[in-house]
Each structure stands twice: as structure tokens, then as C-alpha cells.
Structure 1
Amino acid sequence: MIPYGRQSIEEEDIRAVVETLASDWLTQGPAVPRFEAALCAATGAAHAVAVNSATSALHVACLALGLGPGDVAWTVPNTFVASANCALYCGAQVDFVDIDPETYNLDIGALETKLVAAETAGRLPKVLIPVHFGGLSCDMKEIAALAARYGFRVIEDASHAIGGTYEGRPVGDCRYSDICVFSFHPVKIVTTGEGGAALTNDPALAEAMRLLRSHGITRDPQAMSGEEKGPWVYEQQMLGFNYRMTDIAAALGASQMRRLDSFVAKRTALADRYDALLGNLPVARPLRRSDRNSAWHLYVIGLGDGKDSGALRAGVFEHMRAAGVGVNVHYIPVHWQPYYRSLGFRRGDFPGAEQFYACALTLPLFPDLSYDDQEKVVATLSEVLA
């Protein structure tokens, strides 16, 4: 089976993990700050806070921005559920903004229309979480301008997008956002086994997220307010969580970061090749934008015109899987999930995301995908669409 995604592990990665296993530190040691420094160097962000998953990163980012009961966060429906769940963890409410049918990212026109209505109703969002779908950055300059006008904060969910660029600069530099979140799940661009990070240029937000990832506890004498003194003393200053990344995971991540440019270059070359190989097939290929480069976490094609695409996609999916091609679908709209339906959302609420879902099929894409296997993917697709 050719998987839709697969990690790329080399001897250097294995050696980094083994060295950590043989060291005095398996967690809360030197590998985590080393990995965080690599993230800052790659993106230009001032601070990086590594945690045990991107979900944890989204949660602490929301909390650091003060999201809580009585507040509303907005995100998009075509994402993994964590992009919305993180707000609910804080006691806030969630709503969605539909997507652009060409980029599969948040639709700026839909966002502006929704903001006008929300301002009239006195229900503006406190936080917006745009998602860089597939590795392509959202229109962050326009989002930042709306954030300044309407007073909401911005968390980039860049779980798909480390190594991508926007306006010639790395995704994650936080020029147009308060916080940017990355994922290091095995199918992502860079892996730590499981893990995430939240990047920011704001030292106060960075410190809050560091406290939140480790029970709200500090051991910094300069930050303590109590009377207890001594090298053993620690203080819990807020209600935090055990979201720490291990040194084992961080050592793998730091090693992987040395190949970030190579990973993205290989994914880009494969995406370019897909574009050429699929040229004569009746499928929609991912949009390219001149002002940004995708990190190519996903290569998603569109089948049909959305009317009968569900049946077409199901047939293609089954044929491809039976032939040993591990296609996938990203994503079932979040508002269709039973839990979100229990909150009042319904099918038909966000037609752009729903039509995209009906047509979408994710083809295998990862750095070590061979040209022969890529050609098998396209040949198998050609068979079923013939």
C-alpha cells in the first residue's frame, strides 16, 4: 500500500534520539530549547513554545489570548476538529467562516460579511483561527487588516504549513498574527513522533504559554511572588497542563529541522509532477499563488462538479485503495460532526466547505514517494476515471 503520507527518518535522526536516550535527560532537558531555537531560526519568530501536540499548542494559544466563557472563536469547517475544539476547551463558543472555493482557505469576503453582521449583533469574535489548508498560507495581510478594524486576535493554524512562505517570508514569522501553531505528527512536513509548537513575537504571550504547558508552574526566582525561598522552590501561578514535549521528541525534531528545506523542495517537485501527470484527467488540481509557496503537506484534487461527486469520490476511493494506493479525504466538515450538530450546526450552513468535501480526494505525497509509485497513483486514477 502506498500511504497518503509517511515520515522520512534517516540515520542522523535515529542517532539524535539514541544520544538523548543515553543522556541524563529524557524530558525537560536541553533538546527542547534546541528544537525551539531551530523553529525560531527557520521562521524568524522571536519565541517558540514546544508542546506535545498541535492540539495542545492551539489550546494554550487560546488561553494565552484570554479566550474564555462568553467569548466566541471563529475558524473554518474544512479542518481537523482540533481547530475548533481548542476554543471549546476554554469554555468559549465556536462559529465558522466558509472557504474560498479556489484556495480551500478562509474566504476573506465571507469573513468581512460575517464581521459586519457580528458587529451589528454585538457578537464579534475574540479570536480568529485561519487554517493554512494543505500547506498554502491564507491571505494573512487582509486578515490582519480586519483584525485591526474589528479588534479580534489571530492564531494561524499552520499545522500543514511549516516551510511554506507568504509574501516571500516564512510562514510562522507572525507578522500578521499573534500566534502561529505548527504540527509535528508523522505525516506532517517535520515530525517529532507527535508534537506541536506555538510561535509568537510577544514575550508575554510566550511566557504565558510556557507556564500553561507545565502545570502553570515556574522555577524562576525572579518570577516568584511567595515568601518561600530555596533552590527547590517552585510556584504554581496559573492553572496549567502537562503539555510538555519530551527531549526524545525534541531531539528528533531538531534533527528533522536540518532537512526542512529539502523536505519542502521534494514535496514541491512531486506536486509539480502531479500537476503535469494529471493534466489530461478530468480533475481539479490545487491552486498556485504567485505571492506564496505551499509547503505541500497535502495534494488534494477535486472530482466532478459537486452535484454527484459524493458517489463518484466513493467509487474512486474504493478502487484506489483496492489497487494499493492509500488515498484519503481531508476533511469531513467539522460542523457535520455529531458533537457540533448537537451545538446547533446543520448541513447546508457552509456550502463552500461542503461542496469542497464532496469533491475532495487526497493523493499520496511525501518526500520519499518514488516517481514509479507516483506514476502508479496517476495510472490507477486514470483507470477508474476512464
Structure 2
Amino acid sequence: MIPIARPIISEEEKQAVLAVLESGQLAQGEKVAEFEREFAAFCGARYAVATSSGTTALHTALLAHGIGPGDEVITTPFTFIASANAILFTGARPVFVDIEPETFNIDPNRVEEAVRERKKKGARLKAVLPVHLFGHPCNIEAIMEIARRYDLLVIEDACQAHGASVNGKKVGTFGTGCFSFYPTKNITTGEGGIILTDDEKVAERARMIREHGMRKRYYHEILGFNFRMTDIQAAIGLAQLKKLPQWNEQRIRNAAYLTERLRHLPFVVPPVVKKGCVHVFHQYTIRIKGDRDRAVERLKAKGIGVGIYYPLPVHQQPVYRDLGYDDVLPEAERASREVLSLPVHPALRPEDLETIVEAVASLKEEIGCSGSR
């Protein structure tokens, strides 16, 4: 089986972990601080605050900006559920708007429509939380302009987009950025997350929130959590971060090969890369014109690890239906029926890529392809 994702752990990561174990300092310490400095420098941000996961990074960032009960935050329905759940965790309410069909990212035109509608109704709309899905930047420049006009905060979910950029500026540095280091991501710390900001006060509050509300040990100024990263995780992250540029380049090369070989198939719509964007291909996500679920079944039978990200949009998830969400968002709903992700990670060999291409090409007679896009 060619896996959909494979973390690359070398001797360097193993030795870094052993050094931490031998030091006796296992919890949050100097290695976490070093990782924060290095990741901030890599992305071009002033401050970084490491956390226990991408989910806790989002939760902490929202709280650090004062988002709370009665507030509203606009976000995308086509994402991992943590993007929206983090808003709920604060007591605020997610407001879902539809996506662009090409990039699967939140549509700025729909964002502005929603802003006007919510403002007209007197809602306490405080922020926009866009997601840079699959490693392709959303139209963050347009979203930042909308936020400027309507005095809104922007919390970027860059959990799948380490190193992605727009016109040379890294995602996660336009607003307050949040990243995940889950094992499937472009780099990993096992589990972990990080917040980027240029605002010293936001960084300071985020540090307090992640550590039981403390600025000074055992003096608790605000209600906080245990959202800390460990030095063990940070040691892995430091070793991985050095390799991120070359791994992203390999993902981009793998994606280019797949697109070149698949783009002529009438039942496949390959991913796009918008002008000025660096897409780091956390996932290589195509649309299948035909029976997508049958395609998944057949590819798995041929030894290809595939994923469906995501089979049900957030607004249609049972937990959100129970909360009274009944939105109709046709592009997100259509995407959930058509998307299929293929392996693109840097551990793939040339023969793996060719096997993937041949397996996809063989689907034509098996999935009810109409023969046109």
C-alpha cells in the first residue's frame, strides 16, 4: 500500500529526542522557546507561541483576541471540524460562508456578503477565520482588505500550509496565524501547534492562556489551560523545520508530475495553483467526475492510500445540526461529494508516482465516467 501520508523521522530527530530525555527537562523549556524563535523567523513573524495542537492554537488565538460569548466569527464549512469548533469553545458562534470551487477555500465575495448581512442585523461580528486548505493559500489579501474596512480581526488557520505564501509573504503572518504539527502535516512534532503574531500583547496573553493563566509561576491572573508543548516535541520540530523547504519542494514536484499525467483524463479535475501563490500540497486533492466512492474503493484495492477530505461539510455535521445550523452551501456540499486526495508526500519514489497515475487512469470504465468535465 502506498500511504496517503508518511512522517519522515531520521536519526537527527531520534538523537534530538534522546538529548532532551537525558537533559531531564522534558516539559516546556528552552527547546520550546528555541522552536518558537526559529518558526517565527522562518515565517517572518515577530512572536510565536507553541501549543499542544493546532486545535489548541486556534482556541488560544481566539481567546487571546478577546473572542467570547455572544460574538460571531465567519469561517468556512469545508475544513477539518476543529476550525469551527475552536470558535464554539470560546462561546462564540461560527457563521459559515461558501467556498471557491477551484481552490476549496473560503470565497471573499461571500465573506463580504455575510459581513454586511450580519452587521445589518446588529450581530456582534468580531472576526474572520479563513483556512489555507490543503496547502493552497486562500485569497488572504482580499480577506484582509474586507477586515480592514469593517474593523474585523483575522485568525488564519494555516494548519495545513507550512511555508505556503502569497506574493512572497508567508501565510500565517497576514493576521494571527495558527499551525498544526500533527504527524500527517508537512512537518511534525508528533502532536503540537503554534500561534504567530506581530502583536506583543496578543502573544503575552496567549502564553498565559496556554499555561493556566500564569505570567509568574503560581500567580494566576486569568483562567487558562494546560495547552503547552513539551521540549521532546520541540526537539523533533527543530530537526524537521530545517528540512521543510526541501520537503515542500518535493511535494510541489510530485504534484506537478501528477497533474501533468492526470490532467488529460476527462473524469479528473486536478488542483489549481493561483497566480502569486506557493501551494505546498499538504494534500493533492482532485475532483472525480463520476462515482467518487467507487473510485476510492477501487484505488484502495489497487494499493493506493487515498483520503476524502472532507466527506461531510462542517455545517452538515450532526453536532452542528443539533445546534440549529441549516445552511445551504452548494459549493462546499458539492466538493464533499467529489473530492479525493492522492499521496503526494516527499517519501514517494518515482515508481510510486507512476503506480498512482496508472491506478487513477484505470478507473475510467469503473466509475461511471461521463467522458467530459
Please state which band the TM-score falls in when normalised by the shorter chain: over 0.9
Determine if the alignment matches structure 1 residue 247 to structure 2 residue 231: yes
| Residue type of the alignment partner of 1:6 | R
Q: CA deviation at 1:124?
A: 5.1
1:191 corresponds to: 188
1:229 corresponds to: none
Q: Which residue, 260, 273, 278 being the options, matches 1:288?
A: 273
* RMSD (Å) for aligned C-alpha atoms: 1.1
Q: CA deviation at 1:97?
A: 1.1
Q: Deviations over 1:171-215 (max 9, x none)?
A: 23x2x31x1001100110110001100100000000000000010
Task: Output the CA distance in 2 between the equivalents of 1:385 and 1:77.
Answer: 30
Task: Output the CA distance in 1 between the equivalents of 2:178 and 2:10.
Answer: 25
1:230 corresponds to: none
Q: CA deviation at 1:95?
A: 1.4
Q: Please give the TM-score of this superposition, normalised by the length of structure 1.
A: 0.92
Determine if the alignment matches structure 1 residue 324 to structure 2 residue 321: no
Q: Deviations over 1:257-284 (max 9, x none)?
A: 0011011001000011111111221211
Task: Output the CA distance in 2 between the equivalents of 1:218 and 1:234.
Answer: 9
Task: Output the CA distance in 1 between the equivalents of 2:169 and 2:86.
Answer: 27
Task: Output the CA distance in 2 between the equivalents of 1:279 and 1:137.
Answer: 22
Where in structure 2 are the equivalents of 1:1-386 lying within 5 Å?
1-123=1-123, 125-172=125-172, 174=173, 176-177=174-175, 179-219=176-216, 234-282=218-266, 283-304=268-289, 309=290, 312-331=291-310, 332-346=312-326, 349-386=328-365
Task: Output the CA distance in 1 between the equivalents of 2:109 and 2:128.
Answer: 15
2:370 corresponds to: none
* Structure 2 unaligned regions, length at least 5: 366-373
Count of matched residue pairs? 363
Q: Is the 1:124–1:150 contact (alpha carbons within 8 Å) kept by the matching residues of 2?
A: no
Any idea what SS the aligned residue of 1:320 has?
helix
| Residue type of the alignment partner of 1:202 | D
Q: Is the 2:306–2:340 contact (alpha carbons within 8 Å) kept by the matching residues of 1?
A: yes
Task: Output the CA distance in 2 between the equivalents of 1:215 and 1:109.
Answer: 39
Task: Output the CA distance in 2 between the equivalents of 1:320 and 1:68.
Answer: 44
Q: Is the 1:182–1:198 contact (alpha carbons within 8 Å) kept by the matching residues of 2?
A: yes
Q: Deviations over 1:273-315 (max 9, x none)?
A: 11111122121111111211011101000011xxxx5xx0010
Any idea what SS the aligned residue of 2:363 has?
helix
Task: Output the CA distance in 1 between the equivalents of 2:170 and 2:363.
Answer: 39
Task: Output the CA distance in 1 between the equivalents of 2:102 and 2:357.
Answer: 22
Q: CA deviation at 1:29?
A: 1.7
Q: CA deviation at 1:24?
A: 2.1
Q: CA deviation at 1:42?
A: 0.4
Q: Is the 2:306–2:343 contact (alpha carbons within 8 Å) kept by the matching residues of 1?
A: yes
Task: Output the CA distance in 2 between the equivalents of 1:39 and 1:19.
Answer: 20
Task: Output the CA distance in 2 between the equivalents of 1:148 and 1:301.
Answer: 34
2:369 corresponds to: none
Q: Is the 1:115–1:124 contact (alpha carbons within 8 Å) kept by the matching residues of 2?
A: no
Aligned-residue sequence identity (percent) comes to 41
* Structure 1 unaligned regions, length at least 5: 220-232
